[in-house]
Each structure stands twice: as C-alpha cells, then as structure tokens.
Amino acid sequence: MSRLAKGGQIDRSRPLAFTFDDIAYQGYFGDTLASALLANDVKLVGRSFKYHRPRGILTAGSEEPNALVELRSGARREPNTRATTAELFDGLEAASQNRWPSLAFDAMAVNGLLSPFFGAAFYYKTFMWPKAAWEKLYEPAIRRAAGLGRAADGPDPDHYEKAHAFCDLLVIGSGPAGLEAALAAGRAGARVILAEEDFAFGGRLLSEKTTIEDDTPGAYVTRAIAELKSFTNVRLMVRTAVFGAYDDEYGALERVADHVAVPAPFQPRQRLWKIIPKRVVLAAGAMDRPIVFGGNDRPGVMHAAAAQTYVNRFGVAPAKTSAVFSNNDAAWRAAFDAHDAGASVKAIVDVRTDVSPEITGGAQKRGIRTILGGKVVSTRGKTLGIVSVETGHGRETLYVDGLMMSGGFSPNVHLTCHHGGKPSWDETIAAFVPGKCPPGMTVAGAATGTFSLADCLADGGRKGAAAARDLGFSAADPTPPRAESEATGQKPFWWVHESKGLAFVDFQNDVKAKDVALAHKEGFSSVEHLKRYTTLGMATDQGKLGNVAGLAILAEVSGRTIPQTGTTMFRPPWTPVALAAFAGHHRGPDFRPTRPTPSHAFAEELGGQFVEAGPWLRAAYFPHRGEPTLRDSVNREVLAVRERVGWIDVSTFGKIELSGPDVGAFLDRVYINTFSTLKPGKVRYGVMLREDGIVMDDGTTTRLSEDRWAMTTTTANAGRVYQHLVFCHQVLWPELDVRMASTTEQWAQIAIAGPRARDVLQGVVDDAAAVSAEALPYMGAAETTVMGGVKARVFRVSFSGELGYEVAVPARHGEALARAIAKAGAAQDIVPYGLEALAVMRIEKGHVSGPELNGQTSAADLGFARMASTKKDYIGRVLAGREAFRDPRRPSLVGIKPVDRTQMLRAGAHFLKPGAKPTTGNDQGWLSSATWSPTLGHSIGLGFLVGGSAMVGEVFRAWDGLRGTDIEVEICAPCFIDPEGVRLRG
C-alpha cells in the first residue's frame, strides 16, 4: 500500500470497495479512482492508442491521456473515463481497455516494435496494394486495433436534464482567483454563479501546502465557501464543468449522480446547463505540461503537479522512491511535499543551472540530491525502475519507481478561444496566454500566466470587483489575503535531443518527437498540418498536454520561433461531454411531441391502428375481425364511404383565421386564383406558390362573413403556410388591414363523406334545415350549432369525391362530435375510416397530395394552369413564367393504369418508353402515388410524365428496378371516378 499514514482530504473512516479488471481493492471517500489505484500500487492502467504501449496515471485532472478506463458495465458502461476525475464510490467497477488478451500482455503491442515503419502518417503511403485489400484486410484490422473502450451494450438507462441559469457574473474555477472573484462580486450584491469542475472547491489550494493568512489553504477555502454560501445572490455549482463559450451563453455540464453507483429514483445522471451571464471571469488555472524524453510514457512517470496532488489531497505516495525532472520551481516544491510526507525523493534533475538558492536550499535541507543542468534521456522497466540521466558530466543511472516530470505550466486559455480568439505567446513564461476573449469575459489568476498564489488571490479579487462595477454595482478592489509570492522560474525546455527510445509528445495517440520532425521534412510545417498529419492533439485530451511541446519542436526543426510557427487553437468542449446530456429528455417516445387528434380516444375504442403523420398520430385504418390484411379493412372502408357513409377526423389540417377588410386583397396576392370575389358563406379551393413559381400548398378558404375568413392548409404545411402569410403581411404588405392567427389547435374537424352524409349531418346539427341541399350547396359554408348548442362551422367540401361535409367545433368538443356522428350514422351503417382509405379515395378522385406537392412541381405540372388568374399579380407568378416552366419536356400530372389489370403499381417507379434501356437519359417521369382501387377493382396511380395529358392513351412502362418489376401501363386522365363531379354535388 502506498497510502500515507496520515494527511489528505479523504475520509479514512469511510472505506469504499471497488474493482479494477475484476480484482477487488479498497479506497476511501474523497478518493478518485486514480488515487485509489495508486494507493493500491496499481501502476499499469491502460494501453495507448496506436502502439498499445503500457501506460500509467500521468495527471490528476481531466486532461489525463493515459488512465482511461471503462467505468461501470452493461448498458451503463462508460468507455474512456478518466480515472483521474472519476469519484470513487462503493461498488465501483472499472476495467482497462484497448488491450487483448489482457492489460499486462497485449498482443497488439507488437505495433510498438514496428514503430520505425509505423511512424506518423505511414497510413497514407501504404495499404494500397492490392487495391481490394484496403477494405477487405487492412482497414478492418486497423479499425479493430484503433478505438479505445467499448460503447455500452444497450440503451442508456439513465436520464438527463437541461436547465437554464442567468447571472451577472459567471466565475469559472474555484481556485484562489475564482474564489476571490466570486467573493468580491458576491459581496457587492451581484448575482454570481461559481462553477467548479471538480467535486471539491479550491482548485490548486486542495493540492498545495502553503499558508494564507497564516492558516492552511484548506481553512481559507472553508471560510470562503462558507461566506459565499451565506449570500443569497451567489450560487455554488460543484461538479460542473463549463465546457463551451457560445454566442451569448455558456454550456456547462453538472455531474449530478456520477459519484454514486446508480442515480437515485427520479434523479438525472447529469444536467446540461445553459448559463447566460452578463460577465464572465475565467479562473481556470494552469496545467503542468510534459517534457519529451525517451520513455517519458512509462508507468511511474507522472506530472510533478499531479504527484503533489496525490500526496497532499489524497494522502497517497505515487512512488516509493522518486526522482524529479523539471524546468521550474513548482516541481521542486512538489518534491519537497512528497519528501515531507514520507515518500523518498532521490534526486531532482533540472535542466536549469541557475535555480534560486531558496529552492536549492530546500533540497539541501531535506538531503535531496540535485542535478542542475541535467536531463533524463531514457527510462527502463516494465513499470518504471530505472532512469538514465545525462548529468553534464556523463550518464548516470537512478533506481527509482517514480519520476515527477514538469515542463512548466500553461495557462488554461481554452475557453478564451471559443469565439475565434487566438492566444498569444508570452516569452517570459514560455507559454500561451489569453488573446482576444469572448465578449464580457476577463481572465484571472494562473489562467493569465501569473502563477504565484499571492498574485492569483489579488488578481481574482480585482477582476471580480471590476466585473461587478462594470455592471453598476459598487465594489472596491478587495484587500487580498496574505499569501506566498512564490516564483515559478520556468524556463523553456521541451525536448531532450539525446533521448534514447521513443519520446512522446502526444501520449494517447503515440506521437513522438521524431514524428514532428518527419512531418516537417515532408512539408507539413503548418501547425494545423502537423496536427492532422501526425494526429498530435487529436486524442481525448485534445492537445491540452502535448500541443505546446509539439509546436516548440516544430519551431525548432523548422528554424522558426514559436510565434512564427503558429498558435494552438482550442474548440469546444473544454472537456468531453456525454452525448446524452445534449439530448436530455428528448429520446425514445419523447423525442418529439406527439399530437393526438381530438377523437383519438374514440378511435382507439373503435380499434383504430395509428400511424405517425408528422407530429400527429392519426388512425390509419379500423380492422374488423376476419380481415386478415390492412388492404381488406381499407377496401371495406372505401366501399362503405362510396356506397353509404363514413367519418374521419381531419383536425390535423392547418387552420388559419383571417380577419379585416383587406383579407380578400391579401388572399388574391398569395393564391394563384381570385378570392376577393368570394361571397360570404362560400368556400373556394386555392393553390399558393412559392416566390420561385413552385406550388407551396393547396387548401380551401371560406369567407365566413364580410371580413372573417377561415383558411385550411395541408397537414404537412400548416406551419410553413402560416409563416409565409405572416411574412407576406409583416414584410411585404404591412399596409393591408389583415389580422391572422393559427387555429389548428382550436378547432376539431370531422369529415362526413358518402351518399348518406347529409342524413348523418342532420342528425347532429341543431337546425337540420340549415344544412339542407338547398341551404348548403356544394362549396357552401354555414355557421351553426351542433349537439344542442355547441358552436360549429359546416363546410360542404369533398376530398373523397362523394357528397361530403366537414364539421368544425371547438377542440374540446371534438371527441363528443365524433361520437355523436357515429351515433347519428348508426342507422346508415356509418364506418370510421382512416388515413389509408382517405389516400385511396383521393387517388381515385385524382386529388394531389404530399407526393405530388413535393416542392418541385408547378401549378401547370399539377394541372392547375387554368386556375391561375391572368388578371392579377400573385406571389410566384413572374418566376413561374420562366423558360424552364414552359419546357415541353417538363413532366406533368397523368393518371396511370396497368395494361394487365391484375398487376400492381408501386409509387417510386420511373416511366420508360416500351423497349427503352433503363438509363437516366431515357427517363420519362415517375409514379408518385399508387393504390389498389376497390371501386374499380384494379391498381391505379398518379404520376408525372413527359408530355403529360398529350400522352393519354399511350402505353409506357413503369420500371421499378429497385423491386425488380417492369410493367406496361396505360396513361389516362388523372381522375378515375366521377370526373363530372355528380356525386359531390348530390
């Protein structure tokens, strides 16, 4: 066990059991999986992406590239989970990934031996011979070897929430700068949200041994949090990573229940926050970065800052005996902390020769050997055992099981880049610092490149107060708490040229220093080319660790400075976010709202089978016992309507109420035909075009009285037509006195169709005379009452071709109306009919619908040419006059029958001339709708054919290569029953 006897912010009274690769271990409350594994001396935890190199724990944060595990199992399996951020809970199960057959012996590690051949971008130069082998052999093998963990076995059983939050100031990060910023703004009365990615507040203060106001950092954090909690205007959000700066809002992920085995009932696993702040202080801190040297990826090599965290925060010694390899003072302090906690530190190797006496004195005092101007050139051991050091006087071997590496700190500038701001290079700290920030964002503390604790505390307070003042709050710059003003002294150092063995820049993707040099040699010298060519920075840490070193090496090999070479850009998200969090509740049946029709419950009672029609659920058909197929039920329903009567809920049609003296003029401009001449109490069928002359929608509009009108649209275009009308009114013709509202939801509408429709209707209206043949002729409308006083509108219109009425009542009465109609029609043996029968009858009648109104057909294509008024202007008229619209080769609407009446037509077939080869050039059009007509006893269809009505009587082929049919068809007029319209006028 490497658990230290005392110390750390873990609760030793609360042991937690967990497993890794099926072996049972124990940790404590407050541990991460990584700290608990280290405490149990588990050093080998993963395998790299390309070479399958053995890897250990490198960091203590979300930037971890190596220690990725599959957490949980089955449908809750989370691949690529960073052990360094996974909070330990009792019963946690984790497994290593990307290895076969086992973590300790991975057959794919042979890739590493072939690394001279499998260098950067080798893929592009090989696997091309023979041609077929890429897809058959190489690619499948590469795909199997690549990838990391395995996705879950089944649908995610947990649920996810979304929430919005608004504030004056969003503070990102709760280290010294973040706490001071939140305090300063909070004290001034600003509404503050403090978001912390970790499960504890404090940032670096959790990991460092220092003093603030003569007390421990922990005491300072406790006091600060207590004060913040006392403000009602401050909201503290722990376990909440702000992952992206978007336009006017920030995306944040709260891990609500990731620290328990299974979320409590009704508790979401995670919550996606959309935070809309007025100002932002980014206090995201800084990140320790690696040094590129031979064997820097061996388990046992760890960032010095991470080692310090494990020692101080988790009470774990990552190694029994360590060495240090660094270019800065912070790594020395980490070593001192480890030594003071009882973990032996054998030597500190520093590339610098001018380390301050204060720092070297600390080593002397502890008896730690120092090798200044030294470099680690290689490491050896299955896990780390041997470190070879170039001391300046020769090579020396250190026998250690831990190496604390630190290449200095890079400010976490990521969120500053999300609006396209480029970080700028600061030579004094050899790091990128924030450039142009998103609007309203300032950066505080170590994220600015100012690393000392005293500076971070002061800077945070200043920036928080400034943000509050900027918003009109009265806030003086606070007096910062007394703290150490320690130096970092980091010196640019990236790459040990004398390295022996593979020296990694990007750990997970196995990008080596040599790969960077090769990319440059092959001309990929732009930073973005380097990234894309070598995959540097494309792993799960998105280059947080390796990008700067990669850039520095590229600068060196190309003889440029770092600013000349480029910069590193970061895109959202800061840290990877579970996909389900973005979807929230919108999955499964709740993916989109479900709109039942008003008569839904009644249709269910009648055995209706439902089908999705856009957002609606509509009854498709009503099967009877003894009807083996859908077709049997539909045939019965159609014949019942044609011979007697049926009813159907048509409430899904879009309904728009228009009023005002100018509605007639308005409609004249949006419909191709004239409406201003329509008399009150009359209905007219209309067609409207888009600006480009193509048909947008069709439907009927009724003039209820002089200045009240009711429009219907197709179900599919209800929203679009309304949007169009509003646009026309508000943008094009605001001078017209027209008001409109969508009333699709307000009216239930039931159609009654069939020779006996009037009898049924008269059974539900209060005044039967109002709907008599004389009082209500075809295309007439009446406002009346039904069912004893319920306000109703009756339209005498027909989609089926039979005598037909549509009765509209306020939606809450819709179900009652349907029941009343069914009851009133019992004597006539009325049937409910569904969408299927409706579709059959409209094809029989030759009415166009969705497949014909597909956004590609003109009024003339659809046979509406004569409807178009020549006496007025309307939307689409001019562009519908263009050359292409007059092209005689333009396919137009025809009716289709199979020559052999026993054959079945299917929509989607293309028309070919007899004997023509099936080629694009021979294509004569397509069959848009087809059905079996029970009325005629054979299959019929509608389609678009070159030549259109001139081809009536000709024979073509309906070629359906997709389903292997090719049948002769006869072209006819697109109306199969009652072309004179006798029935509907009956």
Partner 1 sequence: MRYSLFNIVVNGLTGNRFTEPAWRAATPKPRYDVVILGGGGHGLATAYYLAKNHGIHDVAVIEKGYVGGGNAGRNTTIFRSNYLLPGNEPFYEWSVKLWEGLEQTLNYNVMASQRGIVNLIHSDAQRDAYARRGNAMLLADAGARLLDRDEVRTMMPFLDFDNARFPIRGGLMQPRAGTARHDAVVWGFARGADKFGVDIVQNCEATGFLRDRTGAVTGVETSLGPIMADKVALTLAGSTSRLTEKLDLRLPIESQVLQAFVSEAVKPLIPGVITFGAGHFYVSQSDKGGLVFGGDLDGYNSYAQRGNLPVMEDVLEGGMALMPMIGRLRLLRQWGGICDMSMDGSPIIDIGPLPGLYLNCAWNYGGFKATPASGWCFAHTIATDTPHPLSAAYRLDRFRTGKVIDERGAGPQPNLH
Residue numbers 483-542 binding partner 1 by CB under 8 A: 514, 518, 521-524, 526, 528-529, 532-533, 535, 538, 540, 542
Select the residue interacting with partner 1 from 15, 91, 154, 439 (CB under 8 A).
Answer: 154
Residues near partner 1 (CB under 8 A), total? 123
**Residues in Cβ contact with 407 at an 8 Å cutoff, skipping those fewer than 6 apart:** 288, 289, 290, 291, 326, 327, 493, 494, 549
968 binds partner 1 (CB under 8 A): no
Dihedral sign computed on CA atoms, order 132, 138, 142, 143: positive
Residue span binding partner 1 (CB under 8 A) among the ranges 182-190, 441-449, 921-929, 947-955: 921-929
Nearest CB to partner 1, comparing residues 448 and 849:
849
Q: What is the CA radius of gyration of the chain?
A: 38
User: Which position has the token pair 């995670």?
Assistant: 270
What is the closest distance, in whole angstroms, from the C-beta atom of residue 583 to partner 1 in the complex? 4
In order, the DSSP letters of 63-97 are T-SS-EEEES-GGG-EEEEETTTPBP-TTEEEE--
Select the residue interacting with partner 1 from 424, 476, 591, 741 (CB under 8 A).
Answer: 591
What is the closest distance, in whole angstroms, from the C-beta atom of residue 40 to partner 1 in the complex? 26
**Residues in Cβ contact with 912 at an 8 Å cutoff, skipping those fewer than 6 apart:** 918, 922, 923, 924, 956, 957, 959
851 binds partner 1 (CB under 8 A): yes
910 binds partner 1 (CB under 8 A): yes
29 binds partner 1 (CB under 8 A): no
**Measured distance CA(152)–CA(140) in Å, rounded:** 21
Select the residue interacting with partner 1 from 151, 769, 827, 904 (CB under 8 A).
Answer: 151
819 with 813: CB under 8 angstroms?
no
Nearest CB to partner 1, comparing residues 202 and 941:
941
Residue span binding partner 1 (CB under 8 A) among the ranges 52-60, 102-110, 288-296, 571-579: 571-579
**Measured distance CA(292)–CA(50) in Å, rounded:** 18
Residue span binding partner 1 (CB under 8 A) among the ranges 219-227, 298-306, 643-651, 900-908: 900-908
What is the closest distance, in whole angstroms, from the C-beta atom of residue 969 to partner 1 in the complex? 14
Upper half-sphere CA count for residue 564 (Cβ side, 13 Å): 9
Select the residue interacting with partner 1 from 392, 961, 979, 986 (CB under 8 A).
Answer: 961
Binders of partner 1 among 612-651, rule CB under 8 A? Answer: 612-613
- For residues 92 to 131, the per-residue mask of contacts with partner 1, x marking binding by CB under 8 A and - elsewhere, is ----------------------x-xx-x--xxxxxxxx-x
300 binds partner 1 (CB under 8 A): no
Binders of partner 1 among 923-952, rule CB under 8 A? Answer: 923, 926-929
Residue span binding partner 1 (CB under 8 A) among the ranges 52-60, 165-173, 380-388, 686-694: 686-694
Nearest CB to partner 1, comparing residues 205 and 551:
551
User: Which position has the token pair 């800061």?
Assistant: 574
What is the closest distance, in whole angstroms, from the C-beta atom of residue 501 to partner 1 in the complex? 14
Nearest CB to partner 1, comparing residues 329 and 852:
852
Select the residue interacting with partner 1 from 274, 595, 819, 938 (CB under 8 A).
Answer: 274
823 binds partner 1 (CB under 8 A): no
What is the closest distance, in whole angstroms, from the C-beta atom of residue 545 to partner 1 in the complex? 15
* Tokens linked to 893: 């609407």
Binders of partner 1 among 76-95, rule CB under 8 A? Answer: 76-80
* Tokens linked to 798: 């027909």
**Residues in Cβ contact with 375 at an 8 Å cutoff, skipping those fewer than 6 apart:** 293, 325, 349, 351, 389, 390, 496, 498
Residue span binding partner 1 (CB under 8 A) among the ranges 40-48, 217-225, 908-916, 978-986: 908-916
**Burial of 734 per CB tally in 10 Å (0-12, 13-18, 19+):** exposed
694 binds partner 1 (CB under 8 A): yes
Select the residue interacting with partner 1 from 223, 422, 708, 906 (CB under 8 A).
Answer: 906
On the question of a cis peptide bond just before residue 357, with omega within 30 degrees of 0, the verdict is no
Nearest CB to partner 1, comparing residues 694 and 728:
694
What is the closest distance, in whole angstroms, from the C-beta atom of residue 113 to partner 1 in the complex? 11
- For residues 30 to 59, the per-residue mask of contacts with partner 1, x marking binding by CB under 8 A and - elsewhere, is -------------------x----------
75 binds partner 1 (CB under 8 A): yes
Upper half-sphere CA count for residue 772 (Cβ side, 13 Å): 6
Contacts made by residues 524-531, CB under 8 angstroms, sequence distance 24+:
524/121, 525/554, 525/558, 525/565, 526/566, 527/551, 527/554, 527/565, 527/566, 527/567, 527/568, 528/566, 530/554
| Residues facing residue 654 across a β-bridge | 713
953 binds partner 1 (CB under 8 A): no
Nearest CB to partner 1, comparing residues 207 and 542:
542
249 binds partner 1 (CB under 8 A): yes
**Residues in Cβ contact with 576 at an 8 Å cutoff, skipping those fewer than 6 apart:** 80, 540
837 alpha carbon, distance to own chain's centre: 39
Select the residue interacting with partner 1 from 21, 90, 657, 960 (CB under 8 A).
Answer: 960
42 with 22: CB under 8 angstroms?
no
Select the residue interacting with partner 1 from 460, 693, 699, 898 (CB under 8 A).
Answer: 693
**Measured distance CA(929)–CA(909) in Å, rounded:** 10
Select the residue interacting with partner 1 from 382, 395, 592, 901 (CB under 8 A).
Answer: 592
**Residues in Cβ contact with 318 at an 8 Å cutoff, skipping those fewer than 6 apart:** 2, 38, 57, 302, 306, 307, 310, 311, 343, 402
What is the closest distance, in whole angstroms, from the C-beta atom of residue 701 to partner 1 in the complex? 22
Binders of partner 1 among 406-445, rule CB under 8 A? Answer: 418-420
Nearest CB to partner 1, comparing residues 882 and 913:
882
Nearest CB to partner 1, comparing residues 187 and 877:
877
What is the closest distance, in whole angstroms, from the C-beta atom of residue 957 to partner 1 in the complex? 12
590 binds partner 1 (CB under 8 A): yes
Report the 10 Å Cβ neighbour count for 264: 9
**Measured distance CA(305)–CA(409) in Å, rounded:** 9
Instruction: Pick the closest to residue 976 from 799, 853, 801 (CA basis).
Output: 801
**Measured distance CA(873)–CA(31) in Å, rounded:** 75
